[in-house]
Amino acid sequence: MNVREPATRDHAAMQPTVTLLGPPGSGKGTQAARLRELCGFTTLATGDLLREARRAGTDLGRRAAEYMDRGELVPDELIVAIVREAIAALDGEPILLDGFPRTVAQADALAGALEARGRQLRAAVLVDVPDDVVVERISTRRQGREDDRPETVRERLRVYHRDTKPLTAYYDERDLLRRVDGAQGVDAVEADVRAAIT
C-alpha cells in the first residue's frame, strides 16, 4: 500500500489547480503556454494528449481519431481515465488544465480525481469569444489540423455550445467561474487570466 506522508499531502493540497474553458479558437492554448512559462504551471492539454496518442498509434489514439476528425468529443470514459492518471502523477505541482473538462460528467470526474489527491479546483476561467470571431480565427490560422476544415469547425462549435457551455453554470454555482474577454489582444487576455487565478 502506498502510504503518503501527511506533509506531502498538505503540500499537494496547496498547489493550485486551474482549468481554462472556452470555445475552439478562443486562445486557451496560447494562454496555457504563457502561464506555464511565467507561473510554472504544468499544463495538461487533453487535445495535445490525444493528438500525441494518435501519432504514437496507441489504442487510445486509434479510438479517439474517428471522433476528433468529425469534430465530436471523444467518449468521457476514454479521456477521464488518462486525465485521472496524469493528475495522480503531478502531486505537488500546480496544474493548468486546457480543454478539460468539456462535459458535466467530466467536471464531476475531475472533482473526484482532484479530491483523491488532496486537491481542489481553484478557478474555472472562461475565455469567452463570440462564434463569428472563432470562425474567422480558425479559418485564418489553418495550421493544417485535420479538424480545422470549416464544416468541422462548425461542428466543434455546435458541440461546444451543447456540451461544454453548460459548465459555465456548473462552475458559477460553485463560485469557481471567472470570465475573461477572449476577443481582446493576447497580452490583455493574459493579464485578465492571471488576475482571475490569483
Contact between 74 and ligand ADP per CB under 6 A = yes
Q: Which of 41, 96, 100, 170 binds ligand ADP (CB under 6 A)?
A: 100
Is residue 186 within 8 A of residue 129, CB to CB? The reply is no
DSSP line for 133-178: HHHHHHHHH----GGGSHHHHHHHHHHIIIIITHHHHHHHHTT-EE
Q: Which residues are the active-site residues?
A: 28, 102, 141, 145, 156
Distance CA 46, CA 110 (A): 13
Is residue 175 within 8 A of residue 194, CB to CB? The reply is no
DSSP state of 92: T
Contact between 68 and ligand ADP per CB under 6 A = yes
Q: Which residue has the cell 474567422?
A: 136
Residue span 35-54 as binding mask against ligand ADP, x where in contact by CB under 6 A, dash where not: -----------xx--x----
How many other CB atoms are there within 10 angstroms of residue 32's CB atom? Answer: 22
Contact between 117 and ligand ADP per CB under 6 A = no
User: Nearer to ligand ADP by C-beta: 92 or 130?
Assistant: 130
Contact between 24 and ligand ADP per CB under 6 A = yes
User: Nearer to ligand ADP by C-beta: 15 or 46?
Assistant: 46
Distance CA 171, CA 178 (A): 9
Contact between 99 and ligand ADP per CB under 6 A = yes
Contact between 19 and ligand ADP per CB under 6 A = no
Interface residues with ligand ADP (CB under 6 A) are: 24-25, 46-47, 50, 67-68, 71-74, 79, 99-100, 102, 106, 147, 156
